[in-house]
Amino acid sequence: MKPPPFDYHSPRSVGEALEILAATGRDGKVLAGGQSLIPMLNMRLAAPGHVVDINRLTELAAVTVGPDGVRTGALARHAQVERSGPVAAAQPLLRRALRLVAHPAIRNRGTVVGSLVHADPAAELPAVLTLLGGSVRLARRGAVRDVPAARFFTGPLESAAEPDELAVSALFPALPPRSGTAFHEVARRHGDYALAGVAARVRLDDDLRVAAAEVVCVNAGPVPELVDVTGDCGHRAPGTADWGAAARAVRDRIDPEADIHASAAYRRHLAGVLAERALRDAATEAAGG
Ligand SMILES: Cc1cc2nc3c(=O)[nH]c(=O)nc-3n(C[C@H](O)[C@H](O)[C@H](O)COP(=O)(O)OP(=O)(O)OC[C@H]3O[C@@H](n4cnc5c(N)ncnc54)[C@H](O)[C@@H]3O)c2cc1C
């Protein structure tokens, strides 16, 4: 299939891009890596009158690592972020999650910020942003705002980004001390979207007992939601915490849907199994093991 006709814009600066988006409004669509938008155009699931290609805006390709975490610009590709040593040191969950995203060819073009704006409940990065309490920076002509992950994902394939806004970057916060993370998922074939997946984070207190245990599940509801299981696993050392009870709590609190790939009951079961594994691994990492 060929896409429906559209006017193509290739702005040379962020300011020019924002002018075009202000003029095109609901009829405009940003093109970043194109790994989701181009298939949607070809399948006629989207028919914008204007496509605003941001690939010349190289100033948006920066990935910066600071005390507050990792900030990825709108043109930072999955592969660029995945391969960065400083990113892996500052926020290891990003590399773990990105290795589960599609195939290398797609990761060479797809962008981290594009994946967040696309807001697919089956995608890994929205779960990571939600678990870490990150945010997305949105710019429109004359204004910039930071939207926390908890308010950014508004529905399946829907985000808080308005048609005249460009997502310029995303912040993935660093972890507090004595914290660990893990990401586990099951897909029918490597590189496919996951049937179910779980990102987990565990923080220990000064006595090395569990102070916080949280997960976000992939493909478990319309938007990624933080599930706090701190009260379920018990305020104990990682080796004696009740991770089984935490996993049962995850199963009870998610709302997966059935589709041609898996029933809702199977997804719920899978999420519980993966949650237990991910929480154990995150706790082991938090304990320094
Ligand atoms: C075969 C295949 C398998 C895949 N498997 C996975 C997978 O397992 N897990 C996964 O997470 N993803 C997967 N993807 C999707 C991939 O990760 C995409 O790269 C990602 O979802 C979108 O990033 P993009 O840069 O390509 O965005 P685009 O395709 O360019 O854009 C996607 C949407 O976001 C909007 N957008 C993009 N950037 C901005 C911006 N800066 N500001 C405002 N709006 C913006 C666009 O207008 C569009 O609506 C797969 C894709 C393919 C083709």
- Statement: residue 137 has pLDDT above 80: yes
Q: Is the CB of 159 under 6 A from ligand 1?
A: no
pLDDT digits (tens, 9 = 90+) for 74-87: 999 999 999 999 99
- CA of 74 from ligand 1 middle (Å) equals 11
Claim to verify: residue 184 and residue 149 sit in the same structural domain:
no
- CA of 237 from ligand 1 middle (Å) equals 40
The terminus-to-terminus CA distance of the chain in angstroms comes to: 51
Residue 16 placed within a domain: yes
Strand order of the β-sheet with 28-31 is 7-9, 50-53, 28-31
- CA of 77 from ligand 1 middle (Å) equals 10
Question: For 266-273, what is the mean pLDDT?
Answer: 97
- CA of 156 from ligand 1 middle (Å) equals 13
Residue 268 placed within a domain: yes
Residue 223: predicted pLDDT: 97
Claim to verify: residue 22 and residue 85 sit in the same structural domain:
no
Which of 53, 73, 89 terminates a domain? The answer is 53
Claim to verify: residue 66 and residue 168 sit in the same structural domain:
yes
Q: Are 212 and 230 contacting, i.e. CB atoms less than 8 angstroms apart? A: yes
Share of the chain above pLDDT 90, in %: 97
Claim to verify: residue 260 and residue 276 sit in the same structural domain:
yes
Q: Is the CB of 163 under 6 A from ligand 1?
A: no
Which of 150, 173, 196 terminates a domain? The answer is 173
Claim to verify: residue 185 and residue 271 sit in the same structural domain:
yes
Q: How many domains does the chain have?
A: 3
Q: Is the CB of 106 under 6 A from ligand 1?
A: yes
Phi-psi group of 142: left, alpha or beta (phi > 0 → left; psi -120 to 50 → alpha; rest → beta): left
pTM > 0.95:
yes
Claim to verify: residue 185 and residue 168 sit in the same structural domain:
no
Residue 40: predicted pLDDT: 96
Claim to verify: residue 83 and residue 41 sit in the same structural domain:
no
Residue 190: predicted pLDDT: 85
Helices 264-286 and 243-253 meet at what angle, rounded to 10?
Answer: 140
Task: Name the closest-CA residue to atom 44, ligand 1.
Answer: 30
Claim to verify: residue 154 and residue 67 sit in the same structural domain:
yes
Query: What number of other Cβ atoms are within 10 A of residue 49's Cβ?
Result: 14
pLDDT digits (tens, 9 = 90+) for 219-248: 999 999 999 999 999 999 999 999 999 999
Question: For 102-125, what is the mean pLDDT?
Answer: 97
Q: How far apart are CA 126 and CA 149, in angstroms?
A: 8
Cα 95 to the chain's mean position, in Å?
12
- Statement: residue 2 has pLDDT above 90: no
Claim to verify: residue 198 and residue 276 sit in the same structural domain:
yes
Claim to verify: residue 168 and residue 186 sit in the same structural domain:
no
Question: For 95-102, what is the mean pLDDT?
Answer: 97
- The H-assigned helical ranges of the chain are 14-24, 37-42, 78-83, 85-90, 92-98, 104-109, 112-118, 124-132, 149-152, 230-233, 243-253, 264-286
Residue 289: predicted pLDDT: 63
Residue 273 forms beta bridges with which residues? Answer: none
Residue 17 placed within a domain: yes
Residue 1 placed within a domain: no
Residue 2 placed within a domain: no
**Structural domain for 274, as ranges:** 179-286
Residue 289 has what DSSP assignment? -
Q: How far apart are CA 11 and CA 139, in angstroms?
A: 15
- CA of 243 from ligand 1 middle (Å) equals 34
- Statement: residue 63 has pLDDT above 90: yes
Residue 219 has what DSSP assignment? S
CATH number at residue 17: 3.30.43.10
Q: Is the CB of 193 under 6 A from ligand 1?
A: yes
